[in-house]
Amino acid sequence: MSDNYILFMLAGTTYALRTRDVTHIEMVEQITSVPNAAHFVDGVVFSRGQVVPALNLRARFGFERAGHDVRTRLLVVQSDNRSVGLVVDSAREFLAIPPSSVQPPNQALAGISGQYIEGIANLNDRLILILDLPAVLNFSQSVPAA
């Protein structure tokens, strides 16, 4: 039985999150800065009646920040009874990925950059990095500011 994922782009790479972890996807509108936030937190947004922190995944993963455009999306995820918005370059694809197509990340990825990867799917010559959402939302370990 396949798991269903939402695919999104970030710095030219395709990533995936399980659909059960994503409550909704919306366009990025107004982000309000907050003082003393971690370098990868853009601020907060008002989304469907609640204030949600907006975590910039480019900055979280140590990539260069990019300006927002019409394709930029906010993936609002739910983990440990908290909602967090993930700012990504684009998100518009849903895909069922069979577990047999997913391999654990190679030991070469075991450093800071690989800690957020749960698995790598190879589907029709496409590599898709499946995120470990709790690791992404664990703010105690983070990539140094670029």
Q: Hey, how many other C-beta atoms are within 10 angstroms of the C-beta on 11?
A: 14
Confirm or reject CATH 3.40.50.300 for domain 3-136, answering yes or no: no
Q: What is the pLDDT along the chain (146 residues), one digit of tens a residue?
A: 779 999 999 999 999 999 999 999 999 989 999 999 999 999 999 999 999 999 999 999 989 999 999 999 999 999 888 899 999 999 989 999 999 999 988 766 655 556 789 999 998 889 999 999 999 998 775 444 44
Contacts (Cβ under 8 Å, ≥6 apart) of 103 = 119, 120, 121, 122
* Domain ranges (residues) in the chain: 3-136
Extended strands (E) in 1-143 = 3-10, 13-18, 22-27, 41-47, 50-56, 73-79, 82-88, 90-97, 102-103, 117-123, 126-131
Six token digits for residue 16: 């995936």
